[in-house]
Copies of this chain bind each other. A is one copy, B any other.
Amino acid sequence: MNNNYTIFKEKMSKIADINFATSVLNWDQEVNLPPNAAKIRSKQLATLSGLAHEQFTNNEMGDLLEDLSAKNGLSERERANVTEAKKTYIKYKKKPNAFVVKLSESVSKAYFAWHKAKESNDFSIFEPALNKLVDLKLEEAELIGFDDHPYDALLDEFEPNAKTKDLDVLFKDVKNQLVDFVQILAKQQQVEDKWLYYNYDKDKQWNFGIDLLKQMGYDFNSGRQDLSPHPFTTSFGASDVRVTTRINENDFNEMTWSCIHEGGHALYEQGLLIEDYGLPTGNAISLGIHESQSRLWENNVGRSLAYWKANYHNLQNLFGENLKGISVEDFYKSINKVQPSLIRTNADELTYHFHILIRYEIEKELIEGNIAVGELPEVWNAKYKDYLNIEVPDHAQGVLQDIHWSHGAFGYFPTYSLGSFYAVQFFDKAKQDIPGLESQIEQGNLLELLAWLRTNIHQYGKMYSADELCKKVTGKSLDFSHFMDYAKNKYAGIYNL
């Protein structure tokens, strides 16, 4: 019927092929790459990025979008695809191809520099590459343009439509309400969690993680799990969505939470419609919404008492010696211990947001030019002292702990907090909509919850913006009070407030 829409769809699908090929190369880089291959792989990735960019910004695409924008007779879904693609087109057009290739090359180099710096605990190895990336990201912000703050232009890549001024309000709430609350908890008697650090056999942990993923409804016919130093989820299309995890034999937390967390991301990707492959409606809305899915599974489901009522028996069967005499309630408390810590990915679900707050403040100041890359270690350590009352012993566990800046991903971190806050608001609604959800979870039946997420969130892809979706699902925009109410209620029980 509408021939140009078909051509548009095919072009988008072809671009997706290139982008997913890039993802395969990235996945392989994380999971399999031999040491000497880094340089060549960077170049291969840069070439593919350049090709995808070329295909998205050529005149044929411009003409198609022009024509389709003016056309009647498109369905709501088709209209959303044209509108979204046009936004991307306009944005990409502002970035010359040479810039895209240069950025991709610099990112690859910075990744390897970061890796080496972290290994050697030497920030100076990373510094020149990071300096270059900050310059390039500033250049990018200028190319894209912004109304209020250059950071808005960078945020937009990860959380479309998000604004620095709104995040300032949100993180002010975090600072005022959450910091206070954690101080109250710190004065209570601390929960015991020593059994989480006994020896947990690697293979048994692996198998336990696989079972948790299956229980969530993760489809192993359309994905697989592997090991990597930094757990992540990657999609090569909804029928091939892979997760990775890591295992620490002396810390039960690492595998468990990364497994459930990445599983939550993967369920979102597996729930996108394969028939919309390559189209905005076949892609996730934003990283914040993506993170709402991983956090909902990790925290609202995975760190609940109901969840462990279903799974603790199996866990005790596997690790009887470690958990002998520990009741499920004690276990539940132990996995929810609130304690300021060094490493973001290992943080409890409250102090986690202080880690994000710190990164948010640093990124803003970096982009504003108020601090230089060379000052990062010092600023980092001071903020950890200030917000978490923690001394950072070395840069590997400090400013070098996260991969994100090595990807040039400034504006990414705030989406982690957004995700946790969206998660609670969505989960509150799911509880209203699904009678007996808690007792389903207690029985290990998570599939009705998954179906609710598929129906209310996954299937739409980018048909709505994050804010539109949040309103559609919960009746209002993101509201931090959901998270604070959840936190107060949950931790009052655990800390006998």
Contacts and interface: CB of A to CB of B under 8 A. Distances in A.
A98 interface: no
A34 interface: yes
A446 interface: no
A111 interface: no
A72 to B, nearest CB: 31
Contact of A44 (B32, B37, B236): B236
A443 to B, nearest CB: 28
A221 B35 contact: yes
Q: Is the interface of A mostly helix, strand, loop or mixed?
A: helix
Nearest to A50: B14
A60 to B, nearest CB: 14
Contacts of A47: 14, 17-18, 21
Contact of A240 (B24, B33, B223): B33
Name the residue in A41, A220, A274 with the highest tally of chain B Cβ atoms < 10 Å from its Cβ: A41
Contacts of A18: 47-48, 51
Contact of A28 (B28, B220, B222): B28
A152 to B, nearest CB: 34
Contacts of A24: 21, 24-25, 28, 44
A460 interface: no
A77 interface: no
A73 to B, nearest CB: 28
A234 to B, nearest CB: 12
B36 A222 contact: yes
Interface in A38-71: 39-41, 43-44, 46-48, 51
A39 B239 contact: yes
A251 interface: no
A35 to B, nearest CB: 5
5 contacts: A17-B43, A34-B222, A34-B239, A37-B240, A40-B239
